[in-house]
Amino acid sequence: MQVTYSLSSKMHPLLRYGLAIALVSIALWLSLALQVPFGNPFWFFFSIAVIASTWFGGRGPGWVAVVLSTLVVLYFFIPPYFAWEVKLRDVPFFLTFVLCQVVVTWLISWRKATEDSLRQAHSELEARVAERTIELRNANEALVDQMAEQKRTEEVLQLTRSELARVVRITTIGELTASIAHEVNQPLAAVVANADACVAWLSRDNPNLVEAKAAAERATQGATRASEVIVRIRSLINKATPEKTRVQINEVIEQTAALAEGQASRNEVSLQLELAPDLPPVLADSIQLQQVILNLLMNGIEATLSVSDRPRLLVIRSQMQGAGQIQVSVKDSGVGVKAEVMGRLFEPFFTTRSKGMGMGLPISRSIIEAHGGRLWAESNGSDGSIFQFTLPSENGPGA
């Protein structure tokens, strides 16, 4: 089909018309050649010539073949032979021949036209499909690009967020400097006292080795304690990409409370831990959890500062909260949170403190939410407020 199609449409017109003339000539020659031995006129070859011309050459050559074969038949095969005349009795015969030729040509060319348009429609459809395929591929590539871009943006956002968290952490630690200095200085003072004692025991006229050894051992313990404090603070300050491990929440609470202890006692606030035993571990970044708890403790201490008619108390509680959720709450005996402030607590840059940055709570909330938990505040009327968060335990449904 493809071949004939290309023949009729791509062949040069001269060739197509030539083909018609050639076919009619061959038909004439064959008819004449066969008429000599057999006597009957073999007009059928003209039909074949017309059909072939129309088929291969198209409508124009078809008609040319019709006209030519009509003329040739008229001249050679209708008596009187070799003359442009028709006897009356041969007219119906001759006209039938012509009519047949015309009808055949018409039918074939109609058929061809239909076929051609069908073929054209088909190829147009194919072209359109190819076109759409390319469009789709382009759209798909653009989408892939966009997704990669979005992923990159998300990565940058994540990075920015953890960097911001670190900055807030460092700011918080900045507020703790005096407390931390005390925390480090205390064991160092123990080291110096014990080392001096050790030297003193050794430099007596009658050196007491037992006492000297005990003092030296205490000096070592003090130095170890000092370095532990440093390690703890450095891990809070260091740029660390969040890394989730199995974490015992009570250990995190205890470590963080130790950091805030100095700040609390300086302000005459007592920290009270009520930790439920045997809590399952959580899958979390312990530094980020420390940050959240430290932030809540610092806020709690701050909240109790204006209290003078009752003990300044900060209770940190951990407990199981059904359905694999661990809940940690920090309750202060402060002045409480005013209703109009309550709604804005978690807005970035909202702060009630003169030195506050207003990022502590929003960052804390985003950290807890990134761990699949929830952080919220409740006012305890004039008896202070409670900040609490939940975390899915490692074997809980939310983990």
Partner 1 sequence: MKDTDPVVFVIDDDRMIRDGLQSLIRSVGLKVETFASAQDFLTAKRPDVPACLVLDVRMPGLSGLDLQLKLSEVGIEIPIIFITGHGDIPMSVRAMKEGAHEFLTKPVRGQDLLDAIQKAIARDRALREERQALNEIRARFESLTPREKEVLDLVVAGLLNKQIADQLGMSELTVKTHRAHVMDKTQADSLAHLVRMAEKLKISPQK
Work out how close the CB of 195 gets to partner 1 at its nearest, in angstroms, rounded to a whole number: 8
Crossing angle for the helix pair 13-38 and 59-72, to the nearest 10 degrees: 30
Using the minimum distance from each CB to partner 1, give the nearer residue, 225 or 374.
Answer: 225
- Given candidates 58, 61, 187, 392, which one binds partner 1 under the rule CB under 8 A? 187
CA 324 to chain CA mean position, Å: 30
* Tokens matching residue 267: 């302000």
Crossing angle for the helix pair 249-266 and 177-202, to the nearest 10 degrees: 90
Work out how close the CB of 331 gets to partner 1 at its nearest, in angstroms, rounded to a whole number: 20
Q: DSSP per residue over 349-369, as a string? A: T--SSSS--S-HHHHHHHHHH
Q: Pick the closest to residue 8 from 46, 58, 49, 52 (CA basis).
A: 58
Using the minimum distance from each CB to partner 1, give the nearer residue, 222 or 300.
Answer: 222
CA angle 234-237-238, nearest 5°? Answer: 80
Q: Looking up tokens 């001269």, which residue turns up?
A: 14
Binders in 267-306 for partner 1, by CB under 8 A: 270
186 in contact with partner 1 (CB under 8 A): yes
The sign one gets for the Cα dihedral 91, 94, 100, 103 is: negative
Neighbours of 106 (CB within 10 A): 15
211 in contact with partner 1 (CB under 8 A): yes
90 in contact with partner 1 (CB under 8 A): no
Using the minimum distance from each CB to partner 1, give the nearer residue, 156 or 181.
Answer: 181
Using CA atoms, how far apart are residues 364 and 296, in angstroms rounded to an integer?
Answer: 9
266 in contact with partner 1 (CB under 8 A): yes
Using the minimum distance from each CB to partner 1, give the nearer residue, 105 or 263.
Answer: 263
Using the minimum distance from each CB to partner 1, give the nearer residue, 186 or 321.
Answer: 186
215 in contact with partner 1 (CB under 8 A): yes
- Given candidates 193, 279, 307, 335, which one binds partner 1 under the rule CB under 8 A? 193
- Given candidates 159, 181, 276, 305, which one binds partner 1 under the rule CB under 8 A? 181
Question: Which helix or strand (DSSP H or E) is residue 388 part of?
Answer: strand 385-392
Using the minimum distance from each CB to partner 1, give the nearer residue, 297 or 359.
Answer: 297
Work out how close the CB of 233 gets to partner 1 at its nearest, in angstroms, rounded to a whole number: 17
Work out how close the CB of 328 gets to partner 1 at its nearest, in angstroms, rounded to a whole number: 24
Question: Which helix or strand (DSSP H or E) is residue 386 part of?
Answer: strand 385-392
Work out how close the CB of 227 gets to partner 1 at its nearest, in angstroms, rounded to a whole number: 14
Q: Is 195 helix (H, G, I), strand (E, B) or coil?
A: helix
Q: What residue ranges bind partner 1 (CB under 8 A)?
A: 178, 181-182, 185-201, 204, 208, 211, 214-215, 218-219, 221-222, 225, 265-266, 270
